Amino acid sequence: MSRFSDMIRKSFGEGDAKRDAGLKTPSTVKRFDNISYGSHPTWNLLDVYRPKKAKETALPVIAIVHGGAWVYGDKDVYQYYGMSLAERGFAVVNFSYRLAPEFQYPTDLEDICAAFRWIFANASEYGFDTANIFAVGDSAGAHLLSMFANFLTNPECKKAMKAEFPKAKLTLPRGMHLNAVALNCGKYELGTPKTQDPMSKEILKDLLPKRGTKAELELVNSVQWVTEKFPPAFIMTTPGDTMRTQAHYIADALNDHSVPFCYRYYGDKKNPLYHVFHCNMKQPEAAKCNDDECAFFREYIKG
């Protein structure tokens, strides 16, 4: 493991614990915890959150692909954020996935596929409206979600992934689609020198099996795979986001392919906010951002 990955696990863990200190499960939310969706007993676990007032009604689904520089994070770090989305009228699936460097790419993408297979297989039990599937991702999770969306919608991306990783379990459920996605403070352009800061280069060595060759970086550069079939997207960043320039790369790609998207820049010089501020349930601006994203999703609910 690189020193950067080790540092991220320590510093991010301390920051998230401080962020969520004192928070409790809202009385308005019903939760189902630690459900197995795959073969790994620790990492392939998920939670489901539903608004209690919905009772047994089938609800549109939001799946959370958490961030953490591909090397940190799990569903527990995202539970309060996830439950806040459930309070807005969605069934939320919040899952952990296997992390680098112990599990290298595309293991994380395999787990995303497995989580969606679980959603479709268990729709009746947990009240999922599979005609209305949405997903949110932040930071590295936004990258993984954008790659998943490309794998789902671009046959050339799927072909390249399967050629490079023929043993990877990247099966999608029948009828799988994404009505829309939210990409928050993400990193999307990985394959060019201008986007390769020293920390990212070292972390990508932990993530990728061949330690970040040119071919690998091109393969996981999600911007290059965008087509007109990419799902409508809500893109968010802030002045205090260390990856804020990345939002332009994905927005330009969507614009070039006439994909509907909403671009939001929260905060200003006096209140720059910070990377993935929307996960802090104690911050008023987080509520505004999450309201906006859920409103965007509602525009794409079918039926």
pLDDT digits (tens, 9 = 90+) for 127-147: 999 999 999 999 999 999 999
Mean pLDDT of 88-109: 98
- What pLDDT is attached to residue 142? 98
- What pLDDT is attached to residue 208? 96
For residue 19, is pLDDT > 80?
yes
Which CATH class for the 3-298 domain? alpha beta
32 and 47 in contact (C-beta within 8 Å)? yes
In the block, residue with structure tokens 């999770």: 141
**pLDDT tier, 55 (very low <50, low <70, confident <90, very high otherwise):** very high
**Which residues does 260 contact at the CB level (< 8 Å), separation at least 6?**
232, 233, 254
Percent of the chain past pLDDT 70, that is, above it, reads 98
Q: Residue 74 carries which side chain, given as an amino acid letter? A: D
Q: Give, as one character, the DSSP assignment of residue 269.
A: S
d(CA 293, CA 264): 10
- What pLDDT is attached to residue 196? 63
Tell me the average pLDDT of the chain: 96
- What pLDDT is attached to residue 2? 73
Mean pLDDT of 56-64: 98
- For residue 181, list its beta bridge partners: 135, 233
- What pLDDT is attached to residue 4? 83
**pLDDT tier, 198 (very low <50, low <70, confident <90, very high otherwise):** confident
**pLDDT tier, 193 (very low <50, low <70, confident <90, very high otherwise):** low
For residue 293, is pLDDT > 60?
yes
Buried b (16+ CB within 10 A) or exposed e, 122-158: ebeebbbbbebbbbbbbbbbbbbbbbbbbbbbbeebb
CA nearest to 54, candidates 91, 94, 92, 93: 91
For residue 239, is pLDDT > 90?
yes
For residue 195, is pLDDT > 90?
no
CA nearest to 245, candidates 182, 194, 199: 194
- Where exactly are the structural domains of the chain? 3-298
